[in-house]
């Protein structure tokens, strides 16, 4: 049984929302964030990436960075302004990218559900990233970037969302990347009905935002321990989430580039690959189905299929990214831990195979791998089995925008 809660969203005014809304903090580095926020004093990147307003080279985890985030958030509340909704409610959020549309619910999710695995995970978190997000939310006393959740579709929820969308949206704008964002406010009765419907949904799944969710749990634990009158109903027991039905989501591949051949010559490398995989030249560098990996080496694309049978593998080991890691990247190229290895770069599928060709051309001796995307069913199956996916297994598009609705606590 999943719990979602109405809350008083902190939101920009409709006339300023396009200036405020920004890409998530973790899809850009400092330089990219500074460029995107240039000439945009209301951009939410000043809150999510506050180092762009400090001296170049500042330690991203320095006290002044978090203090700047808090002061920028306060300033943005005044200047945009960002206004707390007088009514606690759920919101409906729709994104359109080309012909793809996905529509979900903005809600306050339950930290208890996260801690008790009602909200299921598929990814390990890193302590340093948890530390950063936990400190950010505790300094601001707000969750400003949502956790991206999904669930197995329920027609009753879809029908109710469709009714909400018959009204005029509160927000309707197209971002600079061409993605159209719309947001509706629900009335009290509809919020109550939606929350009740989710009580019949057994599990929610984190699609993206494991570190945001973990930071919410850590923040709640600290505030609970410091509050002798803790009841469990305080707002810090919940966290900002956007919840989409699984069939509406689009996963793109997360491709790989390895920068050297681990001391092997070209012939030795190809021989080692042939021992594990059947190889054939291809003019199509994009895999057409699961079980196929395309490899770029020496200006040529090859189609790879593992020779060994994968039917007896666990659901995690049978993933294409696992097959590649366990049979080629690790044993042949020496990428033993893709989370920490300096040999490998991960390239989101939105950039296409042209980006892989560009990177390989820039560094002779590199080899690139074009992957078939992991499916939502695989993600949920792995989470249901309490297993962990390899790093960089999924790339979701379109990206949610920070700053549309914040959750103060």
pLDDT digits (tens, 9 = 90+) for 74-120: 999 999 999 999 999 999 999 999 999 999 999 999 999 999 999 99
Give backbone dihedrals phi and psi of 241, rounded to 5 degrees, phi first. -145, 150
Which distant-in-sequence residues (6+ apart) come within 8 Å of 225 by Cβ? none
The pairs formed by 56-63 with CB atoms below 8 angstroms and a separation of 24 or more are 60/30, 60/132, 61/128, 61/131, 61/132, 61/135
| Angle at CA of residue 90, ends 86 and 96, nearest 5° | 120
Phi, psi of 336 (to 5 degrees): -70, -40
Q: What CA–CA distance (Å, rounded) separates 297 from 278?
A: 15
Q: Where are the domains of the chain?
A: 4-250+397-408, 254-372
> Using 50, 70 and 90 to split pLDDT, how confident is the model at 314?
very high
What single-letter DSSP state applies at residue 402? B
| pLDDT for position 5 | 98
Q: What digits encode the pLDDT tens for the residues 323-353?
A: 999 999 999 999 999 988 999 999 988 889 9
Share of the chain above pLDDT 70, in %: 100
- What is the CATH class of 254-372? alpha beta
Q: What confidence tens digit (pLDDT) does each residue in 178-211 have?
A: 999 999 999 999 999 999 999 999 999 999 999 9
How far apart CA 331 and CA 325 sit, in angstroms, is: 8
Per-residue pLDDT tens over the stretch 119-143 = 999 999 989 999 999 999 999 999 9
Predicted local confidence at residue 311, as pLDDT? 85
Q: What is the pLDDT of residue 238?
A: 98
For residue 391, pLDDT over 90 is answered with no
Give residue 350's pLDDT.
87
The pair of structure tokens assigned to 281 is 């030249």
pLDDT tens digits, 15-31 = 999 999 999 999 999 99
Per-position DSSP letters for 89-135, written without gaps between them? B-EEEEEEETTEEEEEEEEEEEHHHHHTTSEE--S---HHHHHHHHH
The CA distance from 310 to 290, in Å, is: 12
d(CA 44, CA 13): 14
- Cα–Cα distance measured from residue 322 to residue 308, given in angstroms and rounded to the nearest whole number: 13
Tell me the C-alpha to C-alpha distance, in Å, between residue 82 and each of 56, 95, 408: 28, 21, 12
Angle at CA of residue 332, ends 328 and 335, nearest 5° = 80
* 371, burial (CB in 10 Å: exposed 0-12, middle 13-18, buried 19+): buried
Q: State both tokens at 56.
A: 């170049």
> Does residue 365 come out as left (phi exceeding 0), alpha (psi in the -120 to 50 range) or beta?
left
Lowest mean pLDDT among 224-233, 240-249, 324-333, 337-346: 337-346
Average pLDDT over residues 149-156: 97
Query: What pLDDT, on a 0 to 100 scale, did the predictor assign at position 312?
Result: 87
% of the chain beyond a pLDDT of 90: 95
């Amino acid at each position: 049984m999943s719990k979602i809660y109405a809350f008083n969203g902190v939101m920009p005014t409709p006339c300023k929302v396009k200036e405020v809304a920004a890409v998530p903090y973790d899809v850009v580095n400092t330089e990219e964030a500074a460029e995107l926020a240039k000439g945009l004093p209301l951009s939410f990147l000043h809150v999510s990436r506050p180092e762009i307003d400090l001296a170049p080279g500042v330690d991203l985890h320095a006290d002044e960075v978090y203090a700047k985030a808090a002061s920028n958030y306060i300033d943005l509340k005044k200047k945009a302004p960002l206004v707390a909704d007088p009514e606690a409610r759920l919101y409906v959020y729709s994104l359109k990218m080309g012909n793809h549309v996905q529509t979900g619910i903005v809600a306050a999710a339950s930290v208890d559900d996260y801690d008790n695995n009602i909200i299921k995970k598929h990814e390990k978190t890193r302590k340093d990233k948890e530390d950063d997000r936990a400190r950010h939310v505790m300094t601001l006393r707000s969750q400003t970037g949502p956790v991206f959740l999904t669930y197995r579709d329920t027609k009753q929820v879809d029908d109710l969302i469709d009714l909400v969308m018959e009204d005029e949206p509160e927000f309707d704008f197209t971002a600079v990347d061409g993605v159209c964002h719309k947001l509706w406010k629900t009335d009290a009765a509809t919020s109550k009905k939606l929350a009740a419907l989710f009580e019949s949904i057994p599990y929610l799944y984190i699609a993206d935002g494991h570190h945001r969710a973990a930071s919410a749990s850590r923040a709640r634990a600290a505030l609970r321990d410091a509050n002798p009158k803790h009841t469990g109903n305080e707002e810090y027991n919940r966290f900002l989430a956007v919840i989409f039905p699984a069939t509406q989501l689009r996963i793109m591949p997360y491709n790989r580039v390895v920068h050297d051949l681990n001391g092997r010559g070209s012939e030795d490398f190809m021989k080692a690959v042939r021992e594990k995989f059947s190889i054939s030249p291809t003019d199509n560098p994009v895999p057409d189905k699961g079980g196929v990996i395309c490899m770029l080496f020496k200006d040529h694309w090859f189609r790879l299929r593992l020779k060994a049978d994968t039917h007896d593998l666990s659901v995690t080991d049978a993933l294409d990214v696992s097959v590649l890691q366990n049979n080629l990247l690790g044993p042949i190229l020496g990428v033993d831990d893709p989370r920490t290895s300096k040999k490998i770069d991960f390239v989101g599928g939105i950039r296409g195979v042209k980006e892989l060709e560009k990177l390989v051309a820039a560094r002779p001796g590199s080899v690139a791998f074009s992957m078939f995307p992991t499916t939502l069913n695989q993600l949920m199956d792995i989470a249901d089995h309490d297993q962990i996916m390899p790093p960089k297994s999924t790339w979701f598009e379109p990206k949610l925008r920070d700053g549309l609705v914040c959750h103060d606590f």
